Amino acid sequence: MTSQLSLPAGDFGIYYVLAECTDYCDTLPVKEADGNQPHFQGVTGLRNLDNTCCVNAILQCLCSILPLVEYFLTGKYITALQNDCSEVATAFAYLMTDMWLGDSDCVSPEIFWSALGNLYPAFTKKTQQDAQEFLICVLNELHEALKKYHYSRRRSYEKGSTQRCCRKWTTTETSVITQLFEEQLNYSIVCLKCEKCTYKNEVFTVFSLPIPSKYECSLQDCLQCFFQQDALTWNNEIHCSFCETKQETAVRASISKAPKIIIFHLKRFDIQGTTKRKLIHYPLTNLDLTPYICSIFRKYPKYNLCAVVNHFGDLDGGHYTAFCKNSVTQAWYSFDNIRASQ
């Protein structure tokens, strides 16, 4: 296996697992394969339910993320379930169980697909849907079903004739989804007139990256393109609270919270909607995000590749496939409809 993986660029996502989190396979139930054709855990095809290749590709990738699989296979999710929105999470747990502990080479995702389709009817239509949108919906619904509330007190200052300090309660929501996938970016925004700096945070689970204009590039090229300083002028000016009017600004992003699982979505289409045919190289191991981490944080994460979703086609249609690394065999498998090939 080479140190770089490259595919003709379609609209695709890359899934990386933090290097320190790749030893979960020791905690999973192990089931011995029997017969002349052994069935490996987690290497299970999914039936296409009439144009559901985007659904199947995303589910195969989620099935290869061991911290997430471990959470569902060991039953930890049961104590966190919210009674009013448990259908999707329960169906997801049953599907992961079939794919990891079942005896079939192929299973149907129909129950999970139907449960999610009740909330998002667009995914039940017989037209191709967007895999990234499907992934975001799945992660959102799993979070809603499994979230817990945490209350904390923070210090704040009230303005008045005499400034006084008080403590206020704040509420945060956490779940296995936020613990694994949530990432936070910090934006430093400098007004080019008064040179005062303000900061803004953004939290998300899917990291969309631009593709540089050159034909052949690396994932690091995409990251550098995203994190380079950007000048906002003319119609893109930002309101400066110090100048009290819109001003030209310089904006630079950095990572203030690195997730255990990082998902990259590489943008394939430009503003005019034309296709960018490119070759993207990305590492199988030790993806280093150190150059993009906030300097005040001392964690310098490196990631190992665990799955890829690729789209072949254009804006009018196409086909999704998945490439996933199995933690039991340590081999890569290509999933195209119901077939899994090494």
CA angle 173, 261, 41 (to 5 degrees): 110
Instruction: List the structure tokens of 193.
Output: 């007139």
| Annotated domain spans of the chain | 13-24+40-153+168-184+207-229+263-341
Q: Specify whether 319 is catalytic.
A: yes
Supply the pLDDT for residue 19. 66
Distance of CA 97 to the CA centre of its chain: 22
Say which residue, 317 or 243, is predicted with more confidence: 243
First-to-last alpha carbon distance for the chain, in angstroms, is 12
**Distance in angstroms (rounded) separating the CA atoms of residues 289 and 209:** 14
DSSP assigned state of 279: E
- CATH (one of 1.20.120.790, 3.10.310.10, 3.30.70.1020, 3.90.70.10) for 13-24+40-153+168-184+207-229+263-341: 3.90.70.10
Q: Are 231 and 150 in contact (CB under 8 A)?
A: no
Strand partners, 14: 264, 308
Of the residues 53, 137, 217, 222, only one is catalytic, namely: 53
Of the residues 217, 265, 319, 324, only one is catalytic, namely: 319
Strand partners, 230: 251
Beta-carbon count within 10 A of 97 CB: 16
Supply the pLDDT for residue 162. 47
Say what percent of the chain tops pLDDT 70. Answer: 76
For residue 125, pLDDT beyond 80: no
Structure pTM?
A: 0.82
Say what percent of the chain tops pLDDT 90. Answer: 49
Q: Are 131 and 311 in contact (CB under 8 A)?
A: yes
